Amino acid sequence: MVSYKELGLVNSREIFAKAVKGGYAIPAFNFNNMEQMQAIIQACVEAKSPVILQVSAGARKYANQTLLRYMAQGAVEYAKELGYSIPIVLHLDHGSSYELCVDCIQSGFSSVMIDGSHLPYEENIALTKKVVDYAHQYDVTVEGELGVLAGVEDDVKAEQHTYTRPEEVVDFVKRTGVDSLAISIGTSHGAYKFKPGTDPKIRLDILAEIEKQIPGFPIVLHGSSSVPQDLVKIINENGGKLKDAIGIGEDQLREAAKSAVCKINIDSDGRLAMTAAVRKVLTEHPDEFDPRKYLGPARDELKKLYIHKCEAVLGSAGKA
Ligand code: G3H
Ligand code: 13P
Ligand code: ZN
């Protein structure tokens, strides 16, 4: 058993409480490789923002779970080396089973999500509570989810949003003992969140109803990429084919961050930033074959994007 405390990581309890009070949200950025991790840490150190390093099941498969954990451990030292120590959470994104959560907790994660959102309500409660009971023995914080996001999640494809029902949240939070709650209010995973010609709005009215039920309780938004159109344009001008990619308006996320939403998950925007940079470099320099020559610029663009998120969208800059 490796405790996250020995690695210099923190759980999410204190930073969430501060974020709820302060009207901002902590960025939860996914990483799968070294350049993404470097960009996240460089950006959050420069912005002086707390950060949640997110690891999905797919990331564990791609990069190897042990390597990712050591990378997160290294991230703590790396931040110090860059000159400023920020709170860093290592979080399991969309944990699909009790066993996976236990495995992550034992290997140094400070926070886990158990995603029982596709299960019938009582089964979601039972599974979430089981994870909470285990995690809390080690002071690891747990995120649960109520409601289903449209799009692809955990290889399950939902055609339509099942919005979180505000009347269920008090019961769910009380009976599971979760530390934060992910909700479904119209955000979705990936780069195609809205159909062209539809009104790209999330249901801030449902968020307000939920907040009324559990005032001050930490709320999480998944699927919160904004799909910057300048990045889509660079990709498409350099051989890419992304048609009708539409995300959540940054103004809506800023509004949500002022509420009890204290964790905002962003993955796809980072993928777009890296892809745009790589495509541009390789189009402009077809003779280039040193990975550092395209992964370096990709890392720089990612860093810029993440600083922008902290400063202009989540409001987390300067809060570390
Ligand atoms: O919620 C999904 C995250 O964007 C992680 O995606 O499962 O492809 O690593 P992934
Ligand atoms: P995006 O696909 O909108 O970036 O969402 C990421 C996410 O929710 C990770 O859990
Ligand atoms: Zn998610």
Ligand 3 center from residue 93 Cα (angstroms): 7
What would the mean pLDDT of 237-251 be, rounded to a whole number? 97
Ligand 3 center from residue 318 Cα (angstroms): 25
Q: Is residue 146 part of a domain?
A: yes
Q: For the chain, what is the domain count?
A: 1
Strand 151-153 relative to strand 156-158, pairing: antiparallel
Which structure tokens are listed for 109? 């994660």
Task: Write the CATH number for 266.
Answer: 3.20.20.70
Q: Is residue 319 part of a domain?
A: no
Which residues pair with residue 142 across a beta bridge? 112
Residue type, 41: I
| C-alpha pair distances (Å), 30 with each of 27, 153, 177 | 10, 14, 25
Strands (E), 122-246: 141-146, 151-153, 156-158, 180-183, 219-221
Contacts of 168 (CB under 8 A, 6+ apart): 121, 146
Q: Which of 93, 115, 179, 269 is catalytic?
A: 93
Quote the domain boundaries for residue 188.
4-314
Q: Is residue 167 part of a domain?
A: yes
Q: Is residue 32 part of a domain?
A: yes
pLDDT at residue 161 in the model: 87
What would the mean pLDDT of 113-124 be, rounded to a whole number? 97
What would the mean pLDDT of 224-238 be, rounded to a whole number? 98
Residues 24-40: pLDDT tens digits?
A: 999 999 999 999 999 99
Can you tell me which atom of ligand 1 is nearest the CA of 62? 9
Residues 131-148: pLDDT tens digits?
A: 999 999 999 999 999 999
Q: Which residues fall inside 5 Å of ion ligand 3, going by CB?
A: 222, 265
What would the mean pLDDT of 215-233 be, rounded to a whole number? 98
Q: Is residue 257 part of a domain?
A: yes
Q: Is residue 83 part of a domain?
A: yes
Residues 175-222: pLDDT tens digits?
A: 999 999 999 999 999 999 999 888 899 999 999 999 999 999 999 999
Residue 154 pLDDT greater than 60, yes or no:
no
Can you tell me which atom of ligand 1 is nearest the CA of 222? 1
Can you tell me which atom of ligand 1 is nearest the CA of 57? 7
Q: Treating both helix axes as pointing N-terminal to C-terminal, what angle do 169-176 and 121-136 enclose, rounded to 10 degrees?
A: 40
Residue 251 bears catalytic tag? no
Q: Is residue 320 part of a domain?
A: no
Residues 61-84: pLDDT tens digits?
A: 999 999 999 999 999 999 999 999
